[in-house]
Chains A and B, each alone.
Chain A
Amino acid sequence: MPFDPKTLDSSMKALAAYDWSGDAAPLGAIDAAVVAAHDDAQLAADLEGRLAAMVASDASRAAKEYACRKLAMIGTTVSVPALAARLGDADDSHMARFALERMQIPEAAEALRQAVDSLTGDLRIGMLSSLAARRDTASVARCAALLAADAKTAVAAAGALGRIATPEAAKALATAHVASGPVAEAIVDARIACADAFLARGARDEARTIFEAIAAEAGEAPATRRARAVRIAARSGILAALDDTASR
């Protein structure tokens, strides 16, 4: 639908009152404004200001959720403070991340990192998930420290390190001392992910070192389906590291 500037005020007013019931049609005008904002910097700034104000307001969860969805597309540094302030709220945290995770600006990453330091439980795991998706190299030390946290958090931290996959991340995973259980499995998965990333970057020797270590450990593991899958990953990884024509 084409954007009509005259409808923006009334649409934002309708959004403020929206609570998963009633007429959602006015929201379509905001959708159209987001599309039009791509070629209209003034409209983009106006729209972002209104949406960020909505996130910071006492509007309904549904209204704030909608605003976060739009900020995921057009948000800039302007909306980071409003979004960051919602990261600790159990109702709004995910949708604030929904916007921040996709905003490729340093301020968004920093907001997520700081939330790792201040939050606990599932909300903190959410931050790790978003930093993993961003492959945020500045989060390695935070993630490494959380390998010693509760099991659920440690699994998420290991997963994040596997996605970030820098040499520092691989080192943190290799030196974690977890003998068995879900955290140990997550660490192995993450080490393999690091080795694959090294392979993709042409760091064959570093990749091979990791794969060989995992193959040796897997050789001693019980013959479960999981252990066999890990052995396959490690051994095929060794072959790929030895032969640049090989692939999984």
Chain B
Amino acid sequence: MPVLPTRRAFLTASSTVAAATVAAPYIITSKALGDGVTPPASDRIVMGGIGLGNQGSSDQGRFLKHPDVQYVAVSDVRTTWRESARDRVDAAYGSKGCAAYLDFRDLLARDDIDAVHIATPDHWHAIMTIAACRAGKDIYLQKPETLTLREGPLMLEAARRYGRVVSGGSQRVLEDYRDIVDPCWSGELGRITSIDIDAGASSMPCYLPAMDAPADIDWDLWLGPAPWEPYNPGRCDGNFGTAGNSWRSYIDYSGGRLTDWGAHNFGGLVFAAGLLDHQPSSVVWHPADGSHAAYATLVYPNGVEVHCDRPEALRPSGTAATVSHGRGITIRGDGQAAAPRSVPSYRGRDGIYGDFIECVKTRQRPFRDLEGAINTLTAPHMLGLVRRLERSLEWDRATQQFVNDDEANRLLDRARREPWML
């Protein structure tokens, strides 16, 4: 773990003599002092990033460009990614001040860091989020925010308990789905009655052969709480595919396209249909019957039915009050005009990233507050279990248990590999 002076400690101990004693010279740039557009460093949100692969590096770029952010540290289990991420920060600031940590706990231990963004594989999200909350950090957490149904309430409990701002990381919910959001919120669709969605494939078991792990990756730390499995590049690649050559394909690390794209797609759906505060009360399994493939229906407490992968032949036709989104969502209403409501939006500037930063400063709930994200993901998580068990399930939201189904309740969570625990 590198031993570096913290940014605030450094700025506080401001004598040039002190500055001359540190190994890496720190250049006081115009940005550090504030340049009229950028606030002085002491007024910025001090950030670090955990998981700096494909999506993490993209998130880092957005935060680095934000004028209210001072980015000071990165953590990744891959040396190359970690050092590249550090170098991007130093290049952006024209300094050598960014620290790079193998272990995220070292980054969280820094008291000068106000907020972190997390973009690791999903099996790390709950542990890191809860640890960051306990350390007093605010969190921008990439979607899908949870891997299991049990994790969500524990993460939310930590966020609320320690008064943290936790934003989920689906930028698409507000930005990509206006074609269904606006007609729903304007009231023109009336009361929402049913929805169809092409839900996406579940993750699968990984049977890739064993290979020697390269020196570039700390394989044990990459696996963390997940079952020990031998290294294979296809098991841990961070690409966005879900067909077998990425961690997003596999059940130990991801819910597959069902939760990965599902965080966006179900996110857009529940936002449009006003279901963000709800969780499904049941999932009905419709087995294949020779004439059509199997599909499932999520039933929400207000009666809205969300048909997942329902065959085209079984969908109603000729419904007048219907809106569709190009990623396989169709929403139907009763056509009885309802009172319009104004669509909520981001705070601050620069989309969901700026929304998070603004909420860190003002202590408001962000657009994709963790609670709504968890409610959203309850739908694809339940769908994944119903597909696996091939039977209908009833959900008791109060107890966060399936009703009278011990086997389904066993799948609410997974034992974490020692020494990791929630």
Seen from chain A, the residues whose Cβ lies within 8 Å of a Cβ on chain B are: 20-21, 24, 27, 35, 38, 65, 72-74, 91, 93-95, 97-98, 100-104, 122-123, 125-126, 128-130, 132-133, 152, 156, 159-160, 163, 185, 189, 192, 196, 224-230, 232-233, 236-237, 247-248
* Contact status A38-B163, CB under 8 Å: no
CA of A233 to CA of B162 in the docked complex: distance in angstroms?
Answer: 5
Q: In the complex, A228 Cα to B164 Cα: how many Å?
A: 11
Q: Are A38 and B389 also in contact (CB < 8 A) when A156-B419, A225-B135 are?
A: yes
Report yes or no: B415 in contact with A93, Cβ–Cβ below 8 A.
no
Are B162 and A38 in contact, CB atoms less than 8 angstroms apart? no
Give the number of chain B interface residues (Cβ < 8 Å).
Answer: 42
| 8 A-B contact pairs sorted by A residue (CB < 8 Å) | A20-B230, A35-B390, A65-B227, A73-B407, A98-B415, A102-B414, A104-B409, A156-B419
Contact assessment for B111 and A225 in the assembled complex, using a CB-CB cutoff below 8 Å:
yes
CB of A229 within 8 A of CB of B415, answer no
Return A96 CB to nearest CB of chain B, in Å: 9
Judging by beta carbons under 8 Å apart, are B418 and A229 in contact?
no
A104 cross-chain contacts in B, Cβ below 8 A: 406, 409-410
Taking CB atoms, residues of chain A closer than 8 Å to B320 are none
B184 at the interface (CB under 8 A from A): no
List the B side residues contacting A227 at CB < 8 Å.
Answer: 136
With A27-B205, A126-B419, A185-B134 known, 12 other A-B pairs at CB within 8 A are A20-B208, A20-B209, A35-B388, A93-B418, A104-B410, A126-B415, A129-B415, A129-B419, A229-B134, A229-B162, A232-B162, A233-B162
Residues of B200-220 contacting chain A, CB below 8 A: 205, 207-210
Residues 28-60 of B contacting A (Cβ, < 8 Å) = none
| A residues near B205, Cβ cutoff 8 Å | 24, 27
Which A residue sits closest to B137, measured CB to CB? Answer: A225
B10 at the interface (CB under 8 A from A): no
Query: Which A residues touch B162, using CB under 8 A?
Result: 229-230, 232-233
* Residue of B134, B229, B421 ringed by the most chain A CB atoms within 10 A: B421
Residues of A within 8 A of B164 (CB): 229
Chain A residue nearest in CB terms to B410 = A102
Contact between chains at B421 and A132 (CB < 8 Å): yes
Residues of chain A contacted by B421 (CB below 8 angstroms): 125, 128-129, 132-133, 156, 159-160
Contacts of A133 in B (CB 8 A): 413, 415, 421-422
Cα(A185)–Cα(B105), bound, Å: 14
Q: A20-B229, A98-B415 are contacts. A27–B207 as well, Cβ < 8 Å?
A: yes
Q: Are B227 and A94 in contact (CB under 8 A)?
A: yes
Docked CA distance A184–B205 (Å): 40
Q: Which of A97, A123, A225 contacts B136, CB < 8 Å?
A: A225
**Interface of B: prevailing SS:** loop
Contact of B111 among A20, A152, A192, A226 (CB under 8 A): A226
Question: How distant is A201 from chain B, measured CB to nearest CB, in Å?
Answer: 14
Complex: A83 Cα to B414 Cα, angstroms: 16
Closest to A123 in B: B418
Kindly list chain A residues whose C-beta atoms are within 8 Å of the C-beta of B134: 185, 189, 226, 229
Whether B210 pairs with A73 at a CB distance below 8 angstroms is no
Establish whether residues B415 and A102, one from each chain, have CB atoms under 8 Å apart when the complex forms.
yes
Q: Which residues of B contact A189 (CB under 8 A)?
A: 134
Is B284 in the interface zone, CB < 8 Å from A? no
Q: Which residues of A contact B160 (CB under 8 A)?
A: 247-248
CA separation between A160 and B416, bound complex, in Å? 13
Complex CA distance for A160 and B113, rounded to whole angstroms = 28
For the complex of A and B, the 8 pairs showing the least CB-CB separation, nearest first, are: A225-B136, A126-B418, A129-B421, A229-B136, A24-B207, A232-B163, A102-B410, A248-B160
The answer to whether A38 and B111 touch (CB under 8 A), given A27-B205, A233-B163, is no
A97–B417 alpha-carbon span in the complex (Å): 9
Contact A224 B415 (CB under 8 A): no
Shortest Cβ gap from B407 to chain A (Å): 6
Complex Cα distance, B130 from A233, in Å, reads 14
Contacts of B323 in A (CB 8 A): none
Which residues of B from 387 to 422 have beta carbons under 8 Å from A?
A: 388-391, 406-407, 409-411, 413-422
Interface centre among A95, A133, A156, A192, by most chain B C-beta atoms within 10 angstroms, is: A133
Residues of B within 8 A of A233 (CB): 161-163
Measured CB to CB, the nearest residue on chain B to A223 is: B111
Cβ 8 A contact of A98, one of B136, B208, B209, B227: B227
